[in-house]
Amino acid sequence: MAQRDKHADGMWKARAIGVSALLLSVSIGPSLAQQKMDVGKHFDVFNQFCPAAMAGEAALREVLPGPGPFGEKVWSASPDETWVTYQSGIDDVLIIGSFRRGTALEMRECMVQQITSDAPSVDDLEAAFLERVPKGDGISISGGKVEEQIPPVGAFASTPPDFRNDRREYMVEGALPVPNAIFVGSMGQGNFRIFSFVQVLAE
Amino acid sequence: MTEQLALRTGLAAGLICLNTLSAPAQSIDAAALWDRYMATCAGLLTDLQGTVSALEPLTPNSEGGVSEDGMFFIYESGDEDGLVGDHIYLGRHGGTATVYCDVFDTQIGGGEFAQTAAALREVMEERTGQAASGGALTRFAPPDTGLRIYGGHQDWAGFSVSGAFERADVVTMGEVVRQGYGGVSAVSASLTFYAIVPDNG
């Protein structure tokens, strides 16, 4: 990995931030109403579905039967039925995940995410996350601020060498009722997601 | 995992729309993805401290980053058409550690979904000597979420296989997703495992 020129250049940074904001508007789509980023709602949706997902497909189907609130199918399976996925939404908050079988182990994942350009600062997102994340005996949290350098390649070629993508990444253990389930919080400008993951013996 | 890839792909597709790049499309090299998966993730199972030490040069002066407590690592690089990268989450807690290791490759305008999915499955089976489970499916996107841009449905493929590592209880998960927006298509592939490992650090 090449060392990058460290010369500060505020114009580059401003340009990158501007591009990021524009990207968000393009990526989200012109016809999609912009709702304000709501960290509390993420946790509400997560708590509604993801602990159940960590407990297993049957438990999740009780709280997330198809079709979804917008008529979406929600559940899909591979032809051999060893990979079962779900995808739905509460307003503009996405809920997505899967169950994998086919080995002696079952992998379960569940993610809640909202993408919007109407979001608080990364510092405020992180504060809101840390305020709500489970705490207490038996719960550990790792991670934190990550200053990520964007590779100046292809579509990112105009990214300035001194630009750092400010993201906050956390892994929380012991916060969910299923043993060894991890809870991850990942956030950046205009982007917030929390997800959980566990591996259990196949039933 | 590919849920994250899906959103990266959307971002990258947006970038392509903006920049209207016309570079020739490239396909995802499933074998190269596997090699990078092994190079990046395998050491975490057997020599956590040594692997972490090797990752620590991922400072803000390189293409990626590491969290202030040294427990989250990201590396991203790429070419004209896309991004390749790794995400590693660590939770270290006195003698053991929880590891989530994910490598991905996203190619804008390159690769064909079914071909990429078949290639990924093939390399997963070839390299492990085990039959992979899983296959392709269609996910229907809820209309009010960010996935609306993908036109209501997405093609995905997901595979699971053991045997990549000496530990039989570590399952490798492979995923491929095709997405598009505004006439721009992208294919992403990822390989991931999650495990609790001895921590020699």
Mean pLDDT of chain B: 77
Q: Is the bond preceding residue A67 a cis peptide, omega within 30 degrees?
A: yes
Pairing of strands B72-79, B82-92: antiparallel
B107-119 tens-digit pLDDT: 877 668 999 999 9
Helices (H), chain B: 2-19, 30-46, 48-55, 113-128
User: In B109-171, at which residue ranges do the beta strands (DSSP E only) sit?
Assistant: 133-140, 153-161
Chain A touched by B54 (CB under 8 Å): no
* Nearest chain A alpha carbon to B170: A105
Structure confidence at residue A6 as a pLDDT band (50, 70, 90): very low
Assess contact for A157 and A121: CB atoms under 8 A. no
B143-174 tens-digit pLDDT: 666 665 555 678 899 999 999 998 888 999 99
- At residue B67's C-alpha, the angle toward residues B64 and B69, to 5°, is 150
Range B134-151 average pLDDT: 73
CB contact under 8 A, B171 and A78: no
Compare CB distances from B60 to A101, A147, A169 and report the shortest one's residue. Answer: A147
pLDDT of A10 strictly over 50? no
ipTM for the whole complex: 0.80
Q: What is the pTM of this model?
A: 0.81
Distance in Å, alpha carbon of A63 to nearest chain B alpha carbon: 17
A111 contacts in B (CB within 8 Å)? 3
Range A107-117 average pLDDT: 88
B58-79 tens-digit pLDDT: 544 455 677 877 778 777 666 5
Assess contact for B112 and B86: CB atoms under 8 A. no
Q: Give the CA count within 13 Å in the CB-facing half-sphere of B158.
A: 31
Q: How far is CA A187 from CA A146, A165, A192, B50, in A?
A: 10, 11, 4, 28
Contacts of residue A95, defined as CB under 8 A and 6 or more positions apart, other chains included, come to A45, A49, A64, A86, A87, A88, A89, A110, A111, A112
Chain A touched by B7 (CB under 8 Å): yes
pLDDT of B138 strictly over 70? yes
Compare CB distances from A96 to B3, B91, B100 and report the shortest one's residue. Answer: B3
B194 contacts in A (CB within 8 Å)? 107, 182, 197-199
pLDDT of B15 strictly over 90? no
